[in-house]
Amino acid sequence: MKRTLLGLAVAAVAGLSIIVPATSASAATGDFGPDTCQESYVWREARPADHVCVSPATRSQTWADNGAAAGRWTSGAFGSHTCVTGYVWREAFSGDDVCVVPSVRSQAAADNAQAANRKVSARLWINRYTVPPTDNGDGTSTSTSVDDIPRIKISGDHYNFGQVRLYLRYNTGRLLWSGTVNATAHSGYAGGSFGKKTGVFDCSGTGKPANGYARAYDVLSGRWSARVPVRIGCAVL
């Protein structure tokens, strides 16, 4: 629990400013921008600007600890905000000197480590794929003139688990393709993730700038992804 004198000064200010429980709304549902929590999580609110996503029980504990802060401080080796025996600084953020039991501080550190993974940041990117020739089962295969032309696959992660709507539009806003996908858990990807083959030809190439975009809509939260530029609508012989 070593801290510099500067750290102690900041801690004292921080402690005085967060004794009263916060009253901002749950971020579990609805679009709260880049700090929108995935379903079943809410903002911790160890201080008003603390938007780390945690379980409702953890937020309730955080508010209770904030309310009890003054009664757990004593004058000692770390100044007037030294914790009474059995308590340690929570350290949910830099300068957080609210005194809590050690397990709560460990929980705060664990929640901080998972902060980005629990938000509906609605990442979206484009992969390409091709359709292989069809095996006729007799040693021959069926091929067409379009089999070697890449198609667009829309992929994403950091969504709620559940339905995500996908769109390919021209820059004018005209819809070319739409579909839905169920975002689920996949190893190596945070939150709900997916990969959807659209069947739409990728028309990118030298001298062919993007004329459209892909976009995703997280149904549960109402969050939209950023627009990902694509080249679409090419003629295929």
pLDDT digits (tens, 9 = 90+) for 173-194: 999 999 999 999 999 999 999 9
According to the model, what pLDDT value does residue 148 have?
78
- Single-letter code of the amino acid located at 1: M
Nearest 5°: the CA angle 22, 191, 113 is 55
DSSP the chain: ----HHHHHHHHHHHHHSSSPP-PPP-SSS--GGGPBPTT-EE--SSTT---EE-HHHHHHHHHHHHTGGGGEEEETTEEEEEPTT-EE--SSTT---EE-HHHHHHHHHHHHTTGGGB---EEEEEEE-PPPEE-SSS-EE--TTTTS-EEEEEEEEE-SEEEEEEEEETTS-EEEEEEEEEB--TTS-SEEEEEEEEEEP--BTTB---EEEEEEETTTTEEPPPEEE-------
Q: Where are the domains of the chain?
A: 5-118, 123-230
The pLDDT score that the predictor gives to residue 17 is 42
Q: Report the amino acid identity of residue 30.
A: G
Cα Rg of the chain (Å, integer)? 25
pLDDT in the model for residue 142 = 63
**88 phi/psi in degrees, rounded to 5:** -135, 160
What pLDDT is stored for residue 141 in this prediction? 62
Model pTM score = 0.79
What was the pLDDT predicted at 21?
43
Topology of domain 123-230, per CATH?
Immunoglobulin-like (2.60.40)
- pLDDT tens string, the chain, 237 residues long: the values are 333 333 333 333 344 444 344 434 344 467 899 999 999 999 999 999 999 999 999 999 999 999 999 999 999 999 999 999 999 999 999 999 999 999 999 999 999 999 999 999 999 999 999 987 776 677 666 655 556 789 999 999 999 999 999 999 999 999 999 999 999 999 999 999 999 999 999 999 999 999 999 999 999 999 999 999 999 998 653
Q: What is the pLDDT of residues 24-46, one digit of tens each?
A: 434 446 789 999 999 999 999 99
Tokens of 51: 């938007």
Taking the C-alpha atoms of residue 127 and residue 195, their distance in angstroms, rounded to an integer, is 9
